[in-house]
Chain A
Amino acid sequence: MTTLEKKVTRLEVVEPKQLNFGKKWDYAPAPEATDFVKIKPRYELFIGGKFVKPKSGNYFKSINPATEEVLTEVAEANEADVDAAVRAARNAYEKYWSKLAPAERAKYIFRIARQLQEKGREFAILETMDGGKPIKEARDGDIPLSVAHFFYYAGWADKLEYAFPGRKCRPLGVAGQVIPWNFPLLMAAWKLAPALACGNTVVLKPAETTPLTALHLAQIIQEADLPPGVVNIVTGFGKTGAALVKHPDINKIAFTGSTEVGKGIMKSIAGTGKKMTLELGGKAANIIFEDAPMDQAIEGIINGIYFNQGHVCCAGSRLFVQESVKDIVIRKLYDRIQTLRVGNPLDKNTDVGAINSREQLGKIKELVESGVQEGCKLHQSACELPKKGFWFPPTFFTGVAQSNRIAQEEIFGPVLSVLTFRTPEEAVEKANNTAYGLSAGVWTDKGSKIFKISSKLKAGVIWANTYNKFDPTSPFGGYKESGFGREGGLHGLLPYVKLVR
């Protein structure tokens, strides 16, 4: 990183003066207490309602990315384990779940929602320790949204006949679900809740770096007396996921993760007739017009790219600023990143936590290096980073061209590329000039412009005068290489049902 360090620049603004966000009145550490959360030394697979030892005999370590300390070890499922899980799910589907009255199915899901709600703080702490995200985001975002998701879909279970006019819903059978490490519990909720509500049984594969909350959710599922095998959780690496995806007795694949892996899954199950939803990568454009509510737009940029360390598929990683307000936006952005508090994710005042893994940190550094090499101008927060753990400071590049790697590739880290435009048409053209199409942001105070621009953007979610908002009632999913199928809302039922007359 030597060239990188040399290239870090102070912001060049027209006037030499700069606000000083120093330590005159600094916040004392305010760590969330962790003592009442019990992490077991070892976690087994959750198959058929029981925690079982892996046939593989293997365990892998899950570490806290903020400290590099080992938190626990987790069972690694091999093909035989996956097979056992799928059998358990099939058995539960045939024997109980598909025969259960929908209203009863609903009650089980409600029960999970309520249990999770009651243990919310515990889950927030676990999520933060396992994944590195700031406790305030886990506490105010991931966990309540997960709870809300279960509540929302629980209510659908016995109302499916009203969902699709002229059609009845039939469950698909066994769903294989593979989820990523950026929102571990929330992604589990996004996958499990609609699948169960529609009458399917599930085998879920959490990400290898963040398995803990899913395994604690398994405990809740057990305590909720869900019939054994309705939900099965198999932990492991990519190989485990591949075994699940390829299993012949799976009816439905739901995958959230990288576009590269998503394409592989599409290929590997081609012709099998398995129903599929893919929620893949993104390189979202966040477009700031000169007539935007500027300070809120800045918050939208910040929230768009530094939320969850930028480990967000819908992150607003390409900022398009109208040239007339470029200097103002860059100055405000520079000031704003100085106040982002980077550090101990368990501290209640932390805004930006740890990078999820050493591997991900390496990818981020490599892409940032490419930005520097290609001549883009690097700006970073002057924050101090902890000595241990995986960290990257909030970063943005100016002088970025469409052709630079940092403007094209998904970085999945706290790194923003700032580009400019002159006219609305140019903004739309550049925003759409990508293989991805998950989300986009538009900032202008002019209502008619909002509708015009948002209708022209090729993306599944448009945040107008806001960014990175989520709700269980709101469908989410991509256009183009960002995947297909929707999660959330009424549309989120469709991937888990067969419509019949």
Chain B
Amino acid sequence: MFTTGDLKIKSRVDQVGIEERAASLSKRSIKKETKKAGIKLAISMIDLTTLEGKDSAGKVEAMCQKAIRPLDPSTELRVNDDIPSVAAVCVYPNMVSIAKKALAGTNIKVASVATGFPSGLTPLPIKIEETKRVVDMGAHEVDMVIDRGAFLSGEHKKVFDEIVKIKEACGPAHLKVILETGELETYDNVRMASWLAMTAGADFIKTSTGKAAVNATLPVTLVMLETIRDYWYETGRMVGMKPAGGIRTSKQALQYLVLVKETLGDAWLSNKWFRFGASTLTNDLLMQLVKESTGRYQSLDYFTID
């Protein structure tokens, strides 16, 4: 169990220090084999996401094809390496069954946002009901959002209890808890919310909905990774991490992998424990991978936009 006081004690982060550390890690030079391996690892960690009001079955089906086979192996740009599938697709509840069908027979997971995404401001029974529905429809993973208003006004117990209830409603499905760090503003809050979510049962903690003004950043992710590490030391339970929103380039993705490697080590360097929530990252990873193989800088004209 948790108390607010305990969380506060565990939640001291110096802004300048954490930002300097993140900046320093972001300068790691990733070249050659490391770069190729990193890019492939990153592709395998993607939660390929579409979360728009205009999402349709056609859009989701197309995205699922990209998820299965990110690059056409018959293209002239074919790289000798095997290109992995992404880890999951992430959609709104109404699209779960469509995605399920499109991904049948693959290992790609279906993740659905729930709990009144992106604000998290629907009544708890409805959040529970929504969660149960998406799990019933076959979602392997549920991306819930916390009630930031409650968190910021000090109602930590309320946030905690909601997560506990949603975790129950998930049954066998994995629960990712979105903290919406851009709205929590301080690193102390990010760390506190991370502890809170993990203590309440989160399988993953996730930075953002992608709908706020500020989404995933390196220092925020570093704070969350360090909290995961400390939680693991304290409880022995591994929790996964998912930065989401604003990660569009290979360079960024590799910087995130550096954070994982140097904060949590080898055990977390897999899509079981680390995901990217992204919609356009895939193509840049592919372009950089092809560039590494061919020595030619690439054009987006040769990569499918789905």
* Chain A contacts to B: CB under 8 angstroms: 15, 17, 19-30, 136, 140, 291-296, 299-300, 331, 339, 347-349, 445, 465-466
Question: Is the beta-carbon distance between A28 and B262 smaller than 8 angstroms?
Answer: no
Kindly list chain B residues whose C-beta atoms are within 8 Å of the C-beta of A24.
261, 266, 269
The A-contacting residues of B in range 1-37, CB under 8 angstroms, are 9, 12-14, 16-18, 20-21, 27-35, 37
- Asked if B265 is at the interface of the complex by the 8 Å CB criterion, the answer is yes
Interfacial chain A residues near B34, Cβ < 8 Å:
25-28
Q: Which residues in A have their C-beta under 8 angstroms from that of B174?
A: none
Asked whether A27 lies within 8 Å of B29 as measured between CB atoms, the reply is yes
**Which residues of chain B have a CB within 8 Å of any CB of chain A?**
9, 12-14, 16-18, 20-21, 27-35, 37-38, 41, 226, 229, 233, 236, 257, 261-262, 264-267, 269
CA distance A24 to B270 in the complex (A): 10
Task: Assess A20 versus B13: contact at CB under 8 Å? Given A27-B28, A27-B34.
Answer: no
Task: Please give me the 5 A-B residue pairs with the lowest Cβ-Cβ distance, nearest first.
Answer: A296-B17, A30-B29, A24-B266, A348-B29, A293-B14
Determine how close the nearest CB of chain B comes to the CB of A204; give it in whole angstroms: 32
A20 to B12, CA, bound (A): 25
* CA–CA, A19 and B261, complex, Å: 10
Contact B14 A465 (CB under 8 A): yes
- B20 contacts across to A, CB distance below 8 A: 299
- Complex formed: what's the CA distance from A126 to B16 in Å? 31
Report chain B residues within 8 Å CB of A19: 229, 264-265, 267
Inter-chain contact B41/A296, CB cutoff 8 Å: no
Q: Is the CB of B33 within 8 A of A21?
A: no
Q: Do A293 and B266 form a contact, CB below 8 Å, given A15-B236, A27-B30, A30-B29?
A: no
Pairs across A and B, CB under 8 Å, 29 listed: A17-B233, A19-B229, A19-B265, A20-B266, A21-B266, A22-B265, A23-B266, A24-B269, A25-B37, A25-B38, A25-B41, A25-B261, A25-B266, A25-B269, A27-B29, A28-B31, A28-B34, A29-B31, A30-B30, A293-B13, A294-B12, A295-B21, A295-B226, A296-B13, A299-B20, A348-B28, A349-B29, A466-B16, A466-B17
Q: A25-B38, A293-B12 are in contact. Are A300 and B17 (CB under 8 A)?
A: yes
Q: With CB as the reference atom, state the residue of chain A lying closest to B229.
A: A19
In chain B, what residue has the closest Cβ to A339? B262
Beta-carbon contact of B261 and A295 below 8 Å: no
User: Would you call the interface of chain B mostly helix, strand, loop, or mixed?
Assistant: helix
Nearest CB on B from A444, distance (A): 9
Partner of B28, one of A22, A23, A349, A465: A349
Known pairs A21-B262, A28-B33 / 19 extra A-B pairs, C-beta < 8 Å: A15-B236, A19-B264, A21-B261, A24-B261, A25-B34, A25-B38, A25-B266, A26-B34, A27-B30, A27-B34, A28-B30, A28-B32, A30-B29, A292-B12, A293-B17, A294-B12, A347-B29, A349-B28, A445-B14
Instruction: List residues of chain B with CB within 8 A of the CB of A293.
Output: 12-14, 17
B233–A15 CB distance below 8 A: yes
In angstroms, Cα B28 to Cα A339, docked, is 12
Residues of A within 8 A of B41 (CB): 25
The reply to whether B14 and A20 contact each other, CB–CB distance below 8 Å, is no
The DSSP consensus for interface residues of chain A is: loop
Closest chain B residue to A23 by CB distance?
B266
CA distance A425 to B306 in the complex (A): 65
Judging by beta carbons under 8 Å apart, are B12 and A30 in contact? Answer: no
Is B236 touching A17 in the complex (CB atoms < 8 A)?
A: yes
Q: Which residue of B lies closest to A135 (CB)?
A: B29
Taking a contact as CB atoms under 8 Å apart, the answer to whether A295 and B13 are in contact is yes
In the complex, A27 Cα to B28 Cα: how many Å? Answer: 9
Q: How far is the CB of B139 from chain A (nearest CB, A)?
A: 30
Q: How far is the CB of B242 from chain A (nearest CB, A)?
A: 18
Please give the distance in Å from A325's CB to the nearest CB on chain B.
11
Quote the shortest CB–CB distance from A373 to chain B (angstroms): 33
Chain B residue at smallest Cβ distance from A350:
B29
Residues of B near A15 (CB, < 8 A) are 233, 236
Residue of A15, A19, A30 with most chain B CB atoms under a 10 A cut-off: A19
- Distance between A184 CB and nearest chain B CB, rounded to angstroms: 23
Contact A296 B18 (CB under 8 A): yes
Min CB distance, B17 to chain A, in Å? 3
- B299 smallest CB distance to A (angstroms): 27
C-alpha gap A22/B37 in the complex (Å): 15
Residues of B within 8 A of A347 (CB): 29
Say whether A25 contacts B257, CB under 8 Å: yes
Residues of B contacting A21 in the complex (Cβ-Cβ under 8 angstroms): 261-262, 265-266
Cβ–Cβ contact B17 & A20, under 8 A: no
- Which residues of A are found within 8 Å of B32, using beta-carbon distances? 28
The complex places the Cα of A24 from the Cα of B40 at a distance, in Å, of: 13
* Residue pair B13, A30 in contact (C-beta under 8 Å): no
A residues less than 8 Å from B33 (CB atoms): 28
A465 contacts across to B, CB distance below 8 A:
14, 16-17
A351: nearest chain-B partner, CB-CB: B24
Q: Could you say which residues of chain B place their CB within 8 Å of the CB of A445?
A: 12, 14
CA distance A24 to B273 in the complex (A): 14
Q: For residue A23, which residues in chain B have a CB less than 8 angstroms away from its CB?
A: 266
Tell me the complex Cα distance, A294–B236, Å.
20
In the complex, chain B residues whose CB is within 8 Å of the CB of A136 = 27
A20 to B273, CA, bound (A): 15
Complex interface: chain B residues within 8 A of A295 (CB): 13, 17-18, 21, 226
Output the nearest chain A residue to B257 by Cβ-Cβ distance: A25
Instruction: Look across to chain B and name the residue whose beta carbon is closest to the beta carbon of A140.
Output: B27
Closest to A30 in B: B29
A residues near B269, Cβ cutoff 8 Å:
24-25
- Give B185 Cβ to nearest chain A Cβ, in Å: 17
Q: Roughly how many angstroms separate A140 CA and B29 CA in the complex, as a whole number? A: 14
